[in-house]
Every structure is written in structure tokens, then in C-alpha cells.
Amino acid sequence: MAARGLSGQTLPLLFTRHNTKHIKAHAANRWLYRHQVDHLIAVSRSVIERYRPFLDAGSLTPERISVVHPAYRPDRFRTGLDGSGLRRELGADPATPIVGVIGRLVPDKGPDTFLRAAATVLAARTGVRFVLAGTGIMEPELRRMVADLGIGAAVRFLGFRDNVPEITTALTLSVLPAVDCDASSTVLKEALACGVPVIATDIGGAREIVLDGTTGLIVPPGDSGALARAILTLLADPARARAMGSAGSRDVAARFTPERLAAGTLEVYEKVLTVFRSRSG
């Protein structure tokens, strides 16, 4: 905004909102969205709900908002990758179920919910391995939790990894246990692209990515019992899980490619420029 003002140009301003964090509806923000932001791109419909006070007050109008989901990288995440390296690292044979979370170890991502669910699953079914790929401020706390729950033999912290596609494809189930912030999870798209069924909490844009019951399962956020039941359900029915993964790979390839992202973004730009030109005479 400052650069636009200093340049003397009156070009349209577009703003993209990438998360579902709370937006304070104070006077400065109301002025910003009423007078400065010509168009808002939301990365999922869930983001728009955070703007409800602005919509109700007239600071934003529906015609100035578009939804354009981010893409995953089909060149990196696809079916047919080799995930055997992780299984060798874990000492797991091809039949061993591996359930994993890929993401930062921070409160928003719900890794503690995942570990409590893991303990419930292990109490009902032995031989399942659980992995967490990523680092973050909760790691010391999570390691203590693993020890307290007595599940250390079945849980592995993988730390930061640069071979995420291979880790993803090695998973039997990919879990997103988030409790906040995930507006349009790339991890869900990447897992589905690899043919891995997903279980996601009903946060942000999860329902816009996961076809509940078809490409994965949706559970309430923060509910470790519901998450454990979903994991056990899919582990007990491998054929259904494989069918979900196959359906998911086809679905994300149709809806979340870079080409779709570019086309959607260009469509918004063209729309905004058309309105701008009509107003400029």
C-alpha cells in the first residue's frame, strides 16, 4: 500500500490470505479491506468465515472475494515412488502398518492428539508403527508424552527430512491431526497424490480437499478417541484404504495441480483488471 501511494499509481491491490488465524475487526482493518484491498483471494472457503465481521459490516463484499486453492507438486508427489527406505530404517516389513504425521511439531498441528490416539490404537492392535516427520517447539514435550504413555517402542521421531515424498509413499495412513490454522493443507494433497489414504481433522479446508468416506476420513479436532477409531477402521480394511488412496490420487490430480492454481489466479486477476478498467474510463 505504501509503495502504491508513493508511486502515484492507482493500480488494483490483491491480497491472498493463506491461513485461518483470527482477524481482528478493528477500525484499521475495516478501513484496509473497505478502501485499500480491491480483491481478496482465500485459499479455501474456510478462510472466508474469518472475514464474517467484515462482510457483515460491509467492509468486504462477496464479489470481491475468490477462492483459489494452492497446488501440490505432481513432479515430486505421485504414485509409484519407492518408500522402502523408511521401512528399512524402522525395521518394518512390507506388511507392517505405518501411520504418520508430516509437519511441524507445534500446538496448531495437534501432534499430542496424534500420540494419544496412537496409544489407544496400540492398546487394541499390536504391530502398528507411528512416525512424526518434522521438528518444532513441542518435540521435548512430545518425547516425554511418548515415554509416559509407554509407546516408545512403536513411535519414531524422524526429525527434519528432505525426502518427504519417499516418506509419504511409505505410509499406510497419513494423518493431519491439526486443531487450528490449516486453511488448505498441502500435506493432505501430497499424501493423496501418492495414493495414500488420509485421516484429517475437520479444520480449515480439510473438507474441501478430502472427500470424506471416499478418499479419506474426517474426524473432530482434538478428539484422540475419534482419531484412533478412524485409524483402526482403515487398518482393519486394507482394501478400502487402498481404494481411498487410488481415488485420492485421481482426485487431487484433477483439482490441485499448478496448472489449476495458475488458471484460477489469472482468472481473478483478469476479473479485477476488468473492473478497474471500467472504473477508470
Q: In this structure, are residues 1 and 28 in contact, taking their beta carbons and an 8 Å threshold? A: no
Low-confidence ranges of the chain (pLDDT < 70): 1-9, 281
**Amino acid identity, residue 118?**
A
In sequence order, the 6+-apart residues with CB closer than 8 A to the CB of 95 are none
Sign (positive or negative) of CA dihedral 134, 71, 213, 47: positive
Supply the pLDDT for residue 192.
Answer: 98
3-state secondary structure 218-230: EECCCCHHHHHHH
Model pTM?
Answer: 0.91
Mean residue pLDDT of the chain comes to 93
**How far is Cα 93 from Cα 56, in angstroms, rounded to an integer?**
56
Supply the pLDDT for residue 114.
Answer: 98
C-alpha to C-alpha distances, 187 to 11, 70, 213, nearest whole angstrom: 35, 11, 18
CATH code for the part of the protein at 84-255? 3.40.50.2000
Q: In this structure, are residues 133 and 158 in contact, taking their beta carbons and an 8 Å threshold? A: yes
Q: In this structure, are residues 139 and 156 in contact, taking their beta carbons and an 8 Å threshold? A: no
Q: What residues does each domain of the chain span?
A: 2-69+258-280, 84-255
Query: For 264-278, how does the pLDDT look when each residue is reduced to its tens digit (9 = 90+)?
Result: 999 999 999 988 888
Supply the pLDDT for residue 163.
Answer: 95
- Give 188-209 as a DSSP string: HHHHHHTT--EEEES-TTHHHH
Supply the pLDDT for residue 181.
Answer: 79
Q: Strand locations in 36-79, DSSP E?
A: 39-42, 65-67
Q: Report which of 198, 214, 270 is spatially closest to residue 247, judged by C-alpha positions.
A: 214
Query: For 211-224, how does the pLDDT look when each residue is reduced to its tens digit (9 = 90+)?
Result: 999 999 999 999 99
